[in-house]
Amino acid sequence: MKLLINSLISIFCVVNYCSIVQCSTDNESNLRDGYFNQTIESQLVKRQNSIQTCECGRENWSDRIVGGTEVYPEHRYPWLIAIRFAGRSIICGGALIDSNYVLTAAHCLVGLDPSEIDVLVGCHNVKKVDCRAYKVVKIIPHPNYNRRFHDSDIGLIKLAGPVSFSSTVRPACLPPPTSTPSDGSKLIVAGWGLMEQGGMGSDILRHATVNYVDQSICRSSYPPSYITDRNFCASSANSDACQGDSGGPIMKRNSRGRIEITGIISFGRGCGNTDSPGVYTNVAKYLDWIAINSQFSGCFSSDADLRRDSLTSGGCGLAKGKVRRKRIVGGQSPQQIDYPWNAALGYKGQLIGGGALISSDAILTTASLIRPIIESPGFDVKQLMVILGAFDITKRESDRRSFQVRKVIIHPNHQLWNRYKSDLAILTLTSPATQFTPVCLPTVDTPYPVGYNVRSLGWGRTTVNSGGSTSLKQVDLKLTGREECVRYYSSNLSNDLFCAKEYNKGPCYGDEGSPLMIQFSQRYYLAGLYSHVLPSYPCGLQGAPSLFTDVRHGLDWIYQNM
């Protein structure tokens, strides 16, 4: 049976800089409380093993491939790799997604020991010396892979050492989470597999163009349960992937001209059979799994997706326990100290809002929450309190700690007449909160893609007309486009604000200053802070988005004052 690429991944690239740094303790990073203590310019570290840029998905210009042609020029798809068994036979293909990990099909990995295979990188002709072989230390087939139905036919390979990027070796791009090929889309398959059914494999990398097949036609071509929303079909007369191409990518060119991995060659009947199109794993359905299992340090498709890593310490952003499903408006109750950086802020014994621990002695919150208090007559900083480790704000819990505030720092560009511009403030604690984990910070060039999941926390109202909640609540939202945000707020909305929504759900009165988080590789990053309740459509009701201060726009100031 021929095996086809099912999953295709794309990575976000930003010209000249890669904003992703792996969590480490090497001497290249001067860490303060687990964070880089340099300016933002020095934090946007040039990737040392790339072509001066985090350049994913760029073809070199100035396919199981049946009916394909030799790839020209050589190394046109510099992320393509070959999986070799026992140092001799090419058994599958794959795609390099960062310097340490290869994306391939689960069926290529099941039953193998890492010592039995190696990975050839930088090849055009697998028989020539331009290939470099890398040993494998770990193989990770998807835990839900089903041999019978080929479901979740996706896997990862961890290499023994990092790959050095060059003009002939670059990472592939991962697609946006909502990416799906459209009917008639032109897709590209490439590999070193059989050139015809029953024929010989190719020493030379070959590629072919195939067309996306409508999902209803795809389902009618195979028995029930074989085709789901986690895979898709593609075919073309006399062009297809074949044995030996399995695990390799099926690719498309995005609007910026970059190549994205849309799928992974998974299975099919024969090779080049138009009555039975090839089946490919849909990579976009597995982005979270990839991030969690690869400690992803690559890049995302420049069209829509978000950097999965950021400048961070080895310990930031790690939640404790598992979320207990239960409600902020429309929300749920997390377990106690699931989010140890989450802070409740109080003044004169009253809960006023929230914030997030960003280092051992610094809380980030909104200026619009704190400024009216510190500028009120008779303000006493000794009565401004920060509570960490709380779940039920009314109870004496064993993990709960209270901290006094030594200093309040308001962003210098914050204005009373435009209270949501530069809406950031830092509270410096009188003593370090060393027993609590801080949240990770994003980087200045981290994009926030429309439709991506984010999570808001707080002790605010659970309905518009209720009082505040005594126990911590969470609600999951999706990032919206700026156009929708402007429609509800103002055409003059500043660039340091953004929106997220879920119908009839959202943070509410009392949640101001509370963190909005995004999770990658089992870590949480602080995307924003809840800024504003829209009086005409409060708390996410009637589909209105919630407004958040964008942390990215204040990073330079944050690092200088934390």
What residue has token string 């593609």? 234
d(CA 391, CA 319): 14
d(CA 404, CA 407): 9
Backbone angles phi, psi at 209, to 5 degrees: -100, 130
Which tokens sit at 377? Answer: 């007559």
Catalytic residue among 153, 240, 305, 445: 153
Report residue 268 CA to chain centroid gap.
31
* Number of residues assigned to the chain: 562
Buried/exposed code over 311-332 (b: 16+ C-beta within 10 A; e: otherwise): bbbeebbbbeeeeeeeebbbbb
Q: Is residue 75 annotated as a catalytic residue, yes or no? A: no
Which tokens sit at 101? Answer: 């990990």
Q: Is residue 142 annotated as a catalytic residue, yes or no? A: no
Which tokens sit at 343? Answer: 């802070």
Which tokens sit at 97? Answer: 């997604």
Peptide bond into 73 cis (omega under 30): yes
Strands (E), 204-336: 206-213, 231-235, 249-253, 259-267, 278-282
d(CA 395, CA 408): 27
Which contiguous run of DSSP H or E holds residue 135?
Answer: strand 132-141
- Of 447, 537, 459, which Cα lies nearest the Cα of 501? 537
d(CA 329, CA 474): 9
Catalytic residue among 7, 246, 302, 360: 246
Contact 523, 288 (CB under 8 A): no
Beta-strand pair 546-550/497-501: antiparallel
Catalytic residue among 75, 107, 124, 142: 107
**Diameter of the chain measured on Cα atoms:** 87
Q: How far is CA 24 from CA 29, 296, 312, 314, 359, in A?
A: 8, 13, 9, 6, 17
Query: Which residues contact residue 324 at a Cβ distance below 8 angstroms, ignoring those fewer than 6 apart?
Result: 332, 333, 334, 335
Q: Is residue 246 annotated as a catalytic residue, yes or no? A: yes
85 burial level (CB within 10 Å; 0-12, 13-18, 19+): middle
Contact 51, 165 (CB under 8 A): yes
Find the radius of gyration of the CA atoms of the chain.
25
d(CA 215, CA 212): 9
- Residues annotated as part of the active site: 107, 153, 246
